[in-house]
Structure 1
């Protein structure tokens, strides 16, 4: 086995290994369709190595040479579609079919040209370079701009340069007069080894994108409360900690909220009605708080809202709006005249305070609201002059 045959065999094993890996990853990824396109790309491209070996060791030289070109082209096109799906870029499948047919026809037209000529070398590599370049375009156009996405885009650009470089190298060092001659040239060894490196690098980079996506989704699921669709306690604390690192000294506020007589709702109307109340309050909080707010269900019937860059004087009226809105909600499953209510405690997060300190202050204000008859808002600290608002009272 000469050097070229060795690299062909290695590239075949690598491509099939990535095929298996991406199929497995597709079972866990939310981008499963993209992962399956990518897996198919590696599977199809793997057959190019078999065709290259057939060129060297069988009499089906022309058929095998065209098959090798078609396998690489088809594999790269499938990868291109997978990348477009992964990054939400629109791509025409019929256009890809036409692209494949046209370039396979062009390959047949240039087949009899000497391999080391400019006309053959650059025409042969042109569609591969274009597919890599357009794949980079899909990444650049996406709103996803994580470091791994930038790295993938850079790698795709490098891959495009790699194909152009292979064409230039074929002209400089020679790639043989015929397809069969190619396999015995030093250029073939360099080309196949470089291709192996690019295949591994591209496969690992795409795998990293998908694995990081899976990890982010798993983290999101672990931080989300399934019933209310809000953050759970862990998610709430993590998201607030991230915001505080960015603005540690700005005025912030915390609202604690607790459903009134929630146990009685479960006992009287059933847990399905209690669940409906939780869902209704979760939707209310999501829709009425500022977009920058962090909202979580801390457990049971207890909820929390963190308001970055909002002072206590503005947070209290917001809590009153939430209270009044909840008291007016008609919730499916509960009697027509029944209204579930909630009590609220509001506190400021001072410069020298931690989040748990502010939540304890808001929690104490919430207990005052419970003690004062429920369905009302209380603020932490000394009570200002009483201000009567509808059925609630802010103190």
Structure 2
């Protein structure tokens, strides 16, 4: 077995391994479907190595040559579908099927052309380049690009363009006079080496993107109260501190909230209903809060809201809106009326965050002592 044939075996093992890994990762990622597409793409593309070896050492070289071309192309298309799913840039199924069919027909038509001519080389490599350049176009304009997204987009762009370079190399170095000659040429060694490097690079980058997503989800789960869907106390305090560091001179507001008679709700209607109250109230908070606000569940029936760059009167208006919303929580027993009390305090200095919290807490207890189901304002600024 010569060098090119050995590289074909190596590429088969690499692609098949990536295929298995992506299928395993799919079971742990919220991007399950994209991961399955990508894994399927690598598994299908790995078959091209077997087909290339059968072209050189088996019977019916034309059939296996079409198999090699089709498996690489379909594998790349599946990879592109996974990337499109991951970055919300999906192509219509009929476009994909039409492109694959036309490309396979093109490969059949050019099979008997003299290998290594510019026409044959560029017609053969262009479909591969198109698939990866379309994938790059799915990633690069993505609005929420991270550094790993930018790197992936550039890598896909380079990988797509490298197929044109391979076509030029086939013309310069020669790809043999027939399909059987391919694995015995220097061009095959260079081509398979380039492919191995790029296959590994793209696979590792996609794998890193999915693993980072899994890690982010796990971090969010550990920082999120599963019942209300809001931040837990630790995440809430850390997020507020981060906002204050970015905007130390702003006027902010803190709202503390306590569900009224929550123990009675649990004792009368059961803990299931109490959990339902917490869950629905959390949804109401998320629905009514402005995008820049932060909300957390800091105790059993206690909630905290931080509204950056907001005057006290606006925060009071928000608290009144939330107070009204608690009286119409959906999905609760008809005889159950849920209300909440609110305390509002202003904050002008990050150093006084504890004092602002204390003032909001005092205002909250004033609201409860005054009969509950109302909003009270702490006097003075912290």
After superposition, the Cα gap between the structure-2 partners of 1:33 and 1:317, relative to the gap in structure 1 and judged at 3 Å, is closer
In structure 1, the partner of 2:349 is 351
Question: Size of the alignment, in residue pairs?
Answer: 381
In structure 1, the partner of 2:378 is 380
Q: Distance in 2 between matches of 1:228 and 1:352?
A: 27
Q: Secondary structure at the match of 2:253?
A: strand
The structural deviation recorded for 1:333 is 4.2
In structure 1, the partner of 2:91 is 91
In structure 1, the partner of 2:174 is 174
Q: Distance in 2 between matches of 1:82 and 1:323?
A: 45
Work out whether residues 293 and 308 of structure 1, in 8 Å CA contact, stay in contact via their aligned partners in 2.
yes
In structure 1, the partner of 2:148 is 148
Q: Which stretch has the larger CA shift, 195-204 or 274-283? A: 274-283
Q: Distance in 2 between matches of 1:29 and 1:288?
A: 30
For residues 43-67 of structure 1, the C-alpha deviation after alignment (integer angstroms, 9 at most, x for no partner) is 1110111111112222332222221
Q: Which stretch has the larger CA shift, 140-149 or 109-118? A: 140-149
Q: Distance in 2 between matches of 1:46 and 1:356?
A: 60
For residues 315-345 of structure 1, the C-alpha deviation after alignment (integer angstroms, 9 at most, x for no partner) is 223323333443x436654453x53222211
TM-score by length of 1: 0.90
Q: Which stretch has the larger CA shift, 17-26 or 111-120? A: 111-120
Q: Distance in 2 between matches of 1:245 and 1:351?
A: 10
The structural deviation recorded for 1:314 is 2.5
Work out whether residues 277 and 331 of structure 1, in 8 Å CA contact, stay in contact via their aligned partners in 2.
no
Q: Distance in 1 between matches of 2:78 and 2:325?
A: 52
In structure 1, the partner of 2:284 is 284
In structure 2, the partner of 1:294 is 294
In structure 1, the partner of 2:266 is 266
Q: Secondary structure at the match of 1:300?
A: coil
Q: Distance in 1 between matches of 2:297 and 2:179?
A: 67
Q: Distance in 1 between matches of 2:324 and 2:191?
A: 71
In structure 1, the partner of 2:328 is 329
Q: Distance in 1 between matches of 2:53 and 2:355?
A: 71
In structure 1, the partner of 2:188 is 188
Q: Secondary structure at the match of 1:206?
A: helix
Superposition CA RMSD, Å: 2.0
Q: Distance in 1 between matches of 2:289 and 2:123?
A: 58
In structure 2, the partner of 1:386 is none
Work out whether residues 256 and 302 of structure 1, in 8 Å CA contact, stay in contact via their aligned partners in 2.
yes
After superposition, the Cα gap between the structure-2 partners of 1:2 and 1:355, relative to the gap in structure 1 and judged at 3 Å, is farther
Report 1:119-158 matches (<5 A).
Answer: 119-158=119-158
Q: Distance in 2 between matches of 1:354 and 1:154?
A: 46
Task: In structure 1, list runs of 5 or more residues that go unmatched.
Answer: 384-395
Q: Which stretch has the larger CA shift, 66-75 or 338-347? A: 338-347
Q: Secondary structure at the match of 1:379?
A: strand
Q: Which stretch has the larger CA shift, 317-326 or 158-167? A: 317-326
Q: Distance in 2 between matches of 1:109 and 1:332?
A: 65
After superposition, the Cα gap between the structure-2 partners of 1:264 and 1:8, relative to the gap in structure 1 and judged at 3 Å, is same
Counterpart of 1:363 (choices 358, 361, 364) is 361
Q: Distance in 2 between matches of 1:57 and 1:325?
A: 75
In structure 2, the partner of 1:50 is 50
In structure 1, the partner of 2:201 is 201
Work out whether residues 225 and 231 of structure 2, in 8 Å CA contact, stay in contact via their aligned partners in 1.
yes
Q: Distance in 1 between matches of 2:65 and 2:380?
A: 85
In structure 1, the partner of 2:60 is 60
In structure 2, the partner of 1:391 is none
In structure 2, the partner of 1:36 is 36
For residues 333-374 of structure 1, the C-alpha deviation after alignment (integer angstroms, 9 at most, x for no partner) is 4453x5322221111222242544432332232223333333
For residues 216-257 of structure 1, the C-alpha deviation after alignment (integer angstroms, 9 at most, x for no partner) is 222222222222222222332233233333322211111000
Work out whether residues 364 and 380 of structure 1, in 8 Å CA contact, stay in contact via their aligned partners in 2.
yes
Work out whether residues 16 and 46 of structure 1, in 8 Å CA contact, stay in contact via their aligned partners in 2.
yes
